[in-house]
Amino acid sequence: MYAITRPESMARIDTPELAQAYIDEMIPALQEQIGDKKVLLALSGGVDSSVVAALLIKAVGQQLVCVHVNHGLLRKGEPEQVIEVFRGQMNANLIYVDAVDRFLDKLAGVTDPEQKRKIIGGEFIDVFAEEARKLDGIQFLAQGTIWPDILESEAGIKAHHNAGGLPEDLAFELVEPVRILFKDEVRMVGKALGLPDNMVYRQPFPGPGLGVRCPGAITRDRLEAVRESDAILREEFEKAGLNGKVWQYFTVVPDFRSTGIKNGKRTFDWLCIIRAINTVDVVEVTPEYLPQELIQRLVERITAEVPGINRVLYDYTPKPPATVEYE
Ligand code: XMP
């Protein structure tokens, strides 16, 4: 059984060699813990769950069952990438659940931010539990719990996202292969496992996804405008060499219209807000001051390419007084 508490003497995993040594130690430990039983994993495509999946695929192969729930609030290309990397390249046993309509139907007309989060979180558990019940012989549940989650839950700052929430009939034993690692160490291990850079060095992405970037009641067309503008922003940041340098960046499309003009005709469309921030601890956040040419290019592309957008704004507000997300 591997350590469930980070030993004080443990060296920081900050080289590919140390990451490989961690993998070499973890694989037999996972094989011993799991034996010939099956393990279930909710694979979002985020760094932690992706690294857990890659480790378990190496350790127990087809005994790992990954469930990827597409709740319709993921960024452009994310579900496709999860399928391509894990099913295509790693030959994982991956169940893809298209729950888009189910989530968006439940969210229709809901304007309260906390209510939206509750629906997204609750529905996620329901969908995952339904998939788990269809499977036979699952004994373990793998989770991407990391060391800061443990420290934060011990300090009473937040409850970490563990099995808490799954119904009682699904009381699996936990497998947490990155539990004693800090985030940068998880990335190191992910890189050593051969995961693509854009998965390993991903910026943070909230659990409720694009749902919190579509303030007010989520509609499919406005959600699509968030997704498309976010994709353009990410593309332009990459071209400008800013990805990996700016801590987090995204777009928001509020439920608000303004007058504009296109091809000589009046429009009455949404506006798109760009947010790009830097931080050390997310308690305090400063805006990234983007080069003028980049802002100009973003304005041109987003208004030209994203249906329903006729205006682009840039948010220069630090935290506090604003939070990073809009809901
Ligand atoms: P705020 O808006 O609180 O965001 O200043 C701080 C950081 O946390 C992320 N965030 C979330 N992450 N589930 C998550 O996993 C959530 O519900 C959630 N809400 C905000 C946000 O993207 C930012 O990086």
- Domain holding 85: CATH number? 3.40.50.620
**Domain identity same for 134 and 263:** no
**Domain identity same for 191 and 257:** no
Ligand 1 center–CA 57 separation, angstroms: 29
What pLDDT shows up at residue 63?
Answer: 98
Its pTM surpasses 0.75: yes
Domain that holds residue 302: 209-315
**Domain identity same for 151 and 285:** no
Q: Is residue 324 part of a domain?
A: no
What pLDDT shows up at residue 152?
Answer: 86
Residues in the chain: 327
Q: Is the pLDDT assigned to residue 164 strictly greater than 60?
A: no
Q: Is the pLDDT assigned to residue 158 strictly greater than 80?
A: no
Q: Is residue 110 part of a domain?
A: yes
Ligand 1 center–CA 165 separation, angstroms: 19
Ligand 1 center–CA 50 separation, angstroms: 19
Ligand 1 center–CA 173 separation, angstroms: 28
* Ligand 1 mutation target, pool 324, 326, 327, most atoms within 8 A of CB: 324
**Residue that is last in its domain, among 151, 168, 200:** 200
Q: Is the pLDDT assigned to residue 25 strictly greater than 70?
A: yes
**Residue that is last in its domain, among 200, 225, 241:** 200
Q: Is residue 308 part of a domain?
A: yes
**Domain identity same for 141 and 264:** no
With cut-offs at 50, 70 and 90, classify the pLDDT of residue 13: very high
What pLDDT shows up at residue 268?
Answer: 98
**Domain identity same for 185 and 246:** no
- Can you tell me which atom of ligand 1 is nearest the CA of 203? 24
Protein residue with its CA nearest to atom 20 in ligand 1 = 206
Q: Is residue 304 part of a domain?
A: yes
**Domain identity same for 109 and 48:** yes
Protein residue with its CA nearest to atom 14 in ligand 1 = 206
What pLDDT shows up at residue 129?
Answer: 96
Ligand 1 binding residues, C-beta < 6 A:
204, 206-208, 248, 282, 319, 323-325
User: CATH number of the domain that 266 lies in?
Assistant: 3.30.300.10
pLDDT in tens, 55-104: 999 999 999 999 999 999 999 999 999 999 999 999 999 999 999 999 99
Q: Is residue 243 part of a domain?
A: yes
**Domain identity same for 117 and 189:** yes
Q: Is residue 73 part of a domain?
A: yes
**Domain identity same for 168 and 278:** no
Q: Is the pLDDT assigned to residue 159 strictly greater than 80?
A: no
Q: Is the pLDDT assigned to residue 162 strictly greater than 70?
A: no
Ligand 1 center–CA 325 separation, angstroms: 7
Ligand 1 center–CA 99 separation, angstroms: 23
**Domain identity same for 178 and 308:** no
Protein residue with its CA nearest to atom 9 in ligand 1 = 206
How many domains does the chain divide into? 2
Q: Is the pLDDT assigned to residue 299 strictly greater than 80?
A: yes
- Can you tell me which atom of ligand 1 is nearest the CA of 250? 22
Output the average pLDDT for the chain: 95
Q: Which of 157-171, 220-234, 246-260, 304-318 has the lowest mean pLDDT?
A: 157-171
**Domain identity same for 155 and 275:** no
Vertex 274 angle, CA 273 and 280, to 5°:
130
Task: Please say whether the beta carbons of 85 and 72 come within 8 A.
Answer: no
Q: Is the pLDDT assigned to residue 183 strictly greater than 70?
A: yes
**Domain identity same for 91 and 215:** no
What pLDDT shows up at residue 269?
Answer: 98
Ligand 1 center–CA 121 separation, angstroms: 14
Q: Side chain identity at 283, as an amino acid letter?
A: V
The DSSP-derived string for 207-261 is: TTGGGGGS-SS--HHHHHHHHHHHHHHHHHHHHTT-BTTBSEEEEE--S-EEEEE
- Can you tell me which atom of ligand 1 is nearest the CA of 285? 5
Ligand 1 center–CA 206 separation, angstroms: 5
Hey, what are 41's tokens?
Answer: 């994993």
**Residue that is last in its domain, among 200, 222, 237:** 200
Q: Side chain identity at 299, as an amino acid letter?
A: V
- Can you tell me which atom of ligand 1 is nearest the CA of 248? 24
What pLDDT shows up at residue 176?
Answer: 96
**Domain identity same for 228 and 153:** no
With cut-offs at 50, 70 and 90, classify the pLDDT of residue 308: very high
